[in-house]
Each structure stands twice: as C-alpha cells, then as structure tokens.
Amino acid sequence: MTRLLLKNFVRAKGLMLGLLLLFIAGCISLYIGHRFIEQNKETVEQSAHFQQENIERYVEYNQSSIGTLLYYLRFGLVHQAPHLVGLAIGQRDINPSVISVNIRNLEEQKYTSALMNPMYQLLGNMDFSFVLLYFFPLIIIAFCYNLVSEEKEEGIWDMILSQTAQPLQMLSIKLGIRFASVMGVLLLLLTLAGLGLNIPLDKAFVSFCLVAIVYVVFWFCLTCLVISFHLSSSQNALVLLLSWISLTLILPASVHALSTYLYPIPEAYGTVLESRDGYHTQWDKPKEPTIAQFHAQYPQFSSYNHPSDQEFSWLWYFAMQQMGDQHAANDAKVLAEKLRARGAFSQAMGWVIPTIHTQLSLNSLSQSDLLHHLHFLEALEDFHEDKRLYFYPKIFENAAVAEEDWSDFGLAFHQKPLEISGAQTVLPPLLASFLLLFLARMNWRMKMFIEKN
C-alpha cells in the first residue's frame, strides 16, 4: 500500500513542482547566505587592511606627538560570525560586524550603522530561516489541506471506507509520505548548507537543525488538527492559510509592536545628546574639576596632572572626552537594559507562538540576534577601555611614537562562546506539536463515523 500511495504522490505533478520550488527557494537562500558570509569576510579583510594602512599613514605624519596620533587612530573590533549566520542573517545586516573606534568618547562611535539599501530590509532577506519560516509551512499546507477532503470530494472516500474500517492507517501512510518528502528536502538543504557554507557539525548546527525539524513537525501537527475537522478542501485551505498569516505575519508583528510600546527607548536619543554635551561643555569650564573626576575614575593616573602653565594638555583633553561617556553612561545603561527587556519579552512570547520561537532560536544559534549584538557592544566597551588604559600612560608621558610597534595593532575579534539552553531551544514548539496532535487524535475519534449531512 505504501508503494502505491507513494506512486500516487509522485505522479501528482503539482506536488512534485511544489517540492522542486521549495528546493530551489532553499538553494537561492543558501546562495544568499553564502554571499553574505563572503561579504562579511571581505569586510573584515578590508577593515584589517584599511586599519593597517591608516595606522601607518598617521604614524608617519605624527612622529612628534603620540597624543595627536591617538586622536586619530582607530582600532577595529570584529563581531565574528559563525558560518551558521549564512542560514539566519537576522540582525546582522543592520548591525555592523566591524566597529572601528578611536580612544575618544565611545558613545559617539558605538551605535554607528551599516550601509544598506532599506528597500531590502523592508522586503526582507531571503535567507534560509525565511524559507523555513514561510515557504515550508506553505508547502506543508499545500500538501495536506486536502488529505481527506480530496478523497471525499472526488468520491473515493466511500470506496475506501467500504474496504476498511480503519482509514486512519492509510491516512497516516499518506501523511507519512508527505512528511518524509518535506523532511527530505529540509535535510537535503541542511546537508547542502553544511557542505556549501562550510558549517562545522557542532552543537550549534545540530541544534539549528533540530529547531528547523521541530518547526516542520509543528506545522504538520497543525495541519493534522485542521484536517481532523473534516471540512471541505476550500475551508481547510482557508483555515490553514489564515493560521499561516496569523502565525507568520500578524502575531510576530503584534508582539513586536507591543514590545516597542511596553519598552519605549527615548534614552537612545539621550545617549547622543548627553555624550555630546558631556564632552563639549568641558571646554568652557575650569579644568580642575574635570581632571579631578578623571583621577577619581582612574586613581592609577593620579600622578599625572595638567601642567598649570599650559592652555592645553592631552590629559585634560582625554579627561574631557571621558566626561562624554560618563554623562551618557546612565542613558546607555538604560538603553541596553530596555533592549534586553524587549528581547526577553519576545522570547517569552515565543513559548506560545512557535514562529517567534523558531526565528529567535535560529538567530540566537547563528549569533545574529539582538542579544549577541548587545554582548558585542559590551565587548566593544571593554576593548575600548583596554586601549585607553594601554595608551593613557604613554600619552600622558608623551612617549616616543617610534617606541611602539604599530604593526601589532591589527583587528581584534570577539565571539561569544556558544550557550545553548537545551530545553528552551526546542521545547516550546515541541509541546505545541504534541498538544495539537493529541487534539487531532481526539477530534478524529469523535468523527470516526462519517455522518452524511
């Protein structure tokens, strides 16, 4: 029977075309991912090259003053992306993957954005996660919406019922074939992704695959529930399409709107204004309090002081710059906190809305989500601070520029060690799937006798 049902499935041109389209869409998405990784790599290489060139040039011009030199020099920190990012680009196309900072005020440099055609962000990246989230359910719906109703509408159902009292077995085979074919395409695509994008078979990739599989399982369970109501093909199609729209468009968009409403971030603008004023107003103020505050923050530099006979010193200048960061510190902290709160809120909603959960999990595993970016910004703060602490004494002592080996200052790299909370990664949609399947079973049993009319 399986063989015959398989034959029937394979001979349906529409279904095969659907699988083919799904596969092609998947391949396109992998190509897009591949291109993104390459671009990213190129950006990093360019940044490294550019930084080297930049340092060499400024060192050449500014042999006399290390303070002037470090006014200009910029050091890049790379937010390293695992190759998995090619499958879920997430926020990586909005947030830059390299940020180059000088040792002045950090707040003015931290939030710089990447160059991107907003039209593409509006239409969205067609990365693998998009294909998974949108196209797979559509194909599943197209494959299953008339699983029973087709036979009924074509008049085959009576023949089947007269031959057996257990049509469920045959339906499970039909469903199984469809499930296997969709899963086959998914696994094929993931294999291709692993090979084509050079994704190592590590914990992150395995979890990524699991999330994808569970998502597909969820949609099969949802379609099972809908078809267990024995509606007509048109009604099934409508109900499933509405579920698709709600789950992939309306609910995520509503959760997003709700999160921005619940956690408004006026502090974002605040960081800009405060850091600007914090620094610039120091020019018009007496120097002593500025330097005292600098000393309070860095007791190790207490021995350095502004020479009273001079109008300007680098100590004073960098102390002023430091004030910019200090003034904006509170807003910056609140900004990060609220962003985290937005993240936590959506994550919580993911427990009940599998599409949200899947998208967030995939982004998180490929380190392209907001939380990873925030983590990167924290690393950037540390990086910036390290550079400051390294150069401050040299500047204050006006060390000779030539003493430093400037070729040592290549790009630095940051990558957060992978944290996978096992249960959280796949549990919510898995629970939803079980619930749906259970309901479908119950419903089916109730409708075992196919009442006419």
Partner 1 sequence: MLIAENLTKIYGQQTALWQLNLEIKAGEIFALLGQNGAGKTTTIHCLLGFILPTEGAAYINGLEVTKNLTVARKQVAYIPETVMLYPNLTGAENLAFFSSLAGFKYSTNELEAYLTYAGLQAEAHHRRLGGYSKGMRQKVGIAIAVAKQVKALLLDEPTSGLDPKAANEFSSILKNMAEKGTAILMATHDIFRAKEIADRIGIMKEGNLVSIIKASSVTTHALEELYLQMV
Partner 2 sequence: MQTRTVGLLAKQVWRNTVKNRSTIWLFGVFNLLLLCALLSGYQYMHSQQLLALENSEEVRERWVNNPDKHPHRMAHYGYVAFRQKYPLSFFDFGMDSYVGNVIFLEAHRQNTVNFSAASLSNGLLRLGEISAGMVLQLLVPLLLFFWGFSLVASEREKGTLKIVLIQNVSAVELIAGRALGLFYLSTVVFLPTAIIGGILLGLSDLGLTSIGLYGRFILLLIAYVFYFGLLSWLAVLISAYSSSSRASLIRLIGCWLFFTLMLPKVSQLVGQTLYPAPTKIEFDTAVEEELIQHGDSHNPNDPHFQALKDSLLRAYGVESPQELPFNYSGYVMREGEKLSAETYQRHQENLVGIYQKQQQVVRLTAMLNPYLAIKNLSMAFSGTDYSAFKDFQEQTETYRYTLAQTMNELQIQHISNKVESSADKKAIISRQHWEDLPDFQHQFLSLGQVIRQESISIISLMVWGLGLFLVTNRFAQHLKAF
Q: Is the dihedral of CA 38, 122, 112, 332 positive or negative?
A: negative
| CB 444 to partner 2: min, Å | 24
Q: CA nearest 252: which of 143, 392, 411, 134? A: 134
The binding track of 284-323 with respect to partner 2, each residue x by CB under 8 A or -, is x--------------------------xx-----------
- Check binding of 43 to partner 2 (CB under 8 A): yes
| CB 428 to partner 2: min, Å | 15
Please list every residue from 17 through 36 that binds partner 2, using CB under 8 A. 28, 32
Q: How far apart are CA 338 and CA 43, in angstroms?
A: 30
Contact 108, 275 (CB under 8 A): yes
Q: How far apart are CA 98 and CA 113, in angstroms?
A: 10
Look at residue 336 and give the partner it binds from partner 2, partner 1, none, a contact being a CB closer than 5 to 8 Å depending on partner kind: none
**Cβ closer to partner 1: 65 or 169?**
169
Please give the radius of gyration of the chain, using alpha carbons only, rounded to the nearest integer. Answer: 29
Q: How far apart are CA 329 and CA 271, in angstroms?
A: 8
Please list every residue from 139 through 168 that binds partner 2, using CB under 8 A. 153
DSSP state of 284: G
| CB 256 to partner 2: min, Å | 4
Residue from 165, 201, 296, 423 in contact with partner 1 (CB under 8 A) = 165
Please list every residue from 223 through 262 that binds partner 2, using CB under 8 A. 233-234, 237-238, 241, 245, 248-250, 252-257, 259-261
Residue 380, number of CB atoms within 10 A of its CB: 19
If binding means CB under 8 A, how many residues of this protein chain bind partner 2?
Answer: 83
Residue from 38, 42, 56, 158 in contact with partner 1 (CB under 8 A) = 158
DSSP state of 175: H
Question: H or E segment at 99?
Answer: strand 98-101
**CA–CA distances in Å: residue 362 to residues 86, 91, 166, 257, 424:** 11, 12, 40, 21, 12
**CA–CA distances in Å: residue 74 to residues 56, 77, 197, 377:** 12, 10, 32, 16
- Check binding of 282 to partner 2 (CB under 8 A): no
The binding track of 170-209 with respect to partner 1, each residue x by CB under 8 A or -, is x---------------------------------------
Look at residue 117 and give the partner it binds from partner 1, partner 2, none, a contact being a CB closer than 5 to 8 Å depending on partner kind: partner 2
Residue from 113, 117, 162, 303 in contact with partner 1 (CB under 8 A) = 162
Return the residue matching tokens 């899963």. Answer: 183
- Check binding of 48 to partner 1 (CB under 8 A): no
- Check binding of 16 to partner 1 (CB under 8 A): no
**CA–CA distances in Å: residue 225 to residues 8, 190, 397:** 24, 28, 75
Local structure of 414: helix, strand or coil: strand
Q: How far apart are CA 315 and CA 308, in angstroms?
A: 12
- Check binding of 185 to partner 2 (CB under 8 A): no
Local structure of 412: helix, strand or coil: strand
Residue from 167, 278, 343, 428 in contact with partner 2 (CB under 8 A) = 343
- Check binding of 292 to partner 1 (CB under 8 A): no
Q: Please tell me the total number of residues recorded for the chain in this structure.
A: 453
**Cβ closer to partner 1: 162 or 310?**
162
Look at residue 170 and give the partner it binds from partner 1, partner 2, none, a contact being a CB closer than 5 to 8 Å depending on partner kind: partner 1
| CB 386 to partner 2: min, Å | 22
Phi, psi for 282 (deg, rounded to 5)? -60, -30
**Contacts of 383 by beta carbon, 8 Å cutoff, 6+ apart:** 75, 77, 101, 412, 414
- Name the one range near partner 1 by CB under 8 A: 152-160, 198-206, 287-295, 389-397: 152-160
**Cβ closer to partner 1: 8 or 330?**
8
Look at residue 155 and give the partner it binds from partner 2, partner 1, none, a contact being a CB closer than 5 to 8 Å depending on partner kind: partner 1
- Check binding of 168 to partner 1 (CB under 8 A): no
Question: H or E segment at 295?
Answer: helix 287-297
Structure tokens at 141: 């719906």
Q: How far apart are CA 214 and CA 429, in angstroms?
A: 7
- Name the one range near partner 1 by CB under 8 A: 1-9, 50-58, 135-143, 247-255: 1-9
**Cβ closer to partner 1: 154 or 385?**
154
Structure tokens at 291: 């330097």
If binding means CB under 8 A, how many residues of this protein chain bind partner 1?
Answer: 25
- Check binding of 12 to partner 2 (CB under 8 A): no
- Check binding of 164 to partner 1 (CB under 8 A): yes
Q: Which residues of the shown chain bind partner 1 in the complex (CB under 8 A)?
A: 1, 4-5, 7-8, 11-12, 154-156, 158-166, 170, 449-453
